[in-house]
Amino acid sequence: MTRDGVYAAVDVHYLADGQARAALVAAAEPRFSQLTFEKTVLCTDVEPYRSGQFYLRELPPVRAVCAGAGPFELIVIDGYVDLDPAGQPGLGAYVHAEFGAPVVGVAKNPFAAATHAVLVTRGKSRRPLYITAAGYPVSAAANMIREMTGRHRIPDALRRADRLARGLERSAG
């Protein structure tokens, strides 16, 4: 299934039995005001967690859920693109290299070395999101996250991807 102009938000959740469920929600525009499709994939062969190498665990499920869903205009991930101002790659940098699409990282928690992340507050929350990007200006990425659909701290597209990945909701498509 090939689509033009796909904006995707992806998330991965690790299950107690050692598997991972990855979820993708997609839209035709960066606000994600109307989702065009969504997809979940269960991954049975999951790498163990390794400090400083989280991408080794996270990238295969992201790769699996993105298979056949592109080409992508932009991918939004739950996490950091790069981990410090010098560009130490985080998950988003590997996603950017893998798919060649711009990637916007939306992290919910601060990472001490990520002093370059742009802080964005949404809704009535006082807790910021930490925005990083690859292949896309970080200031534009921050504005995009501010303007994404949803009244809460976490944009609706990322909330939906999280709920699908956790198995709290079923994919509509």
CATH code for the domain of 18: 3.30.2170.10
Q: Give CA–CA dist 47/19, Å, rounded.
A: 9
Q: Does the structure show a pLDDT above 50 at 140?
A: yes
Name the DSSP class of 158.
H
Q: Which residues fall within 8 angstroms of residue 140, CB to CB, at 6 or more apart?
A: 133
Within 10 angstroms of residue 100's Cβ, the number of other Cβ atoms is 12
Position 172 in a domain: no
Position 146 in a domain: yes
Position 14 in a domain: yes
pTM: 0.91
Q: Give CA–CA dist 154/107, Å, rounded.
A: 10
Domain count, the chain: 1
pLDDT tens by residue, 81-121: 999 999 999 999 999 999 999 999 999 999 999 999 999 99
Q: What is the mean pLDDT of residues 64-85?
A: 94
Burial (CB < 10 A; 0-12, 13-18, 19+), residue 44, is exposed
Position 79 in a domain: yes
Position 138 in a domain: yes
Position 15 in a domain: yes
Position 76 in a domain: yes
Position 1 in a domain: no
pLDDT at site 51: 65
Is the CA virtual torsion 31, 162, 127, 54 positive or negative? Answer: negative
Q: Does the structure show a pLDDT above 50 at 128?
A: yes
* Range of the structural domain that residue 24 is part of: 6-165
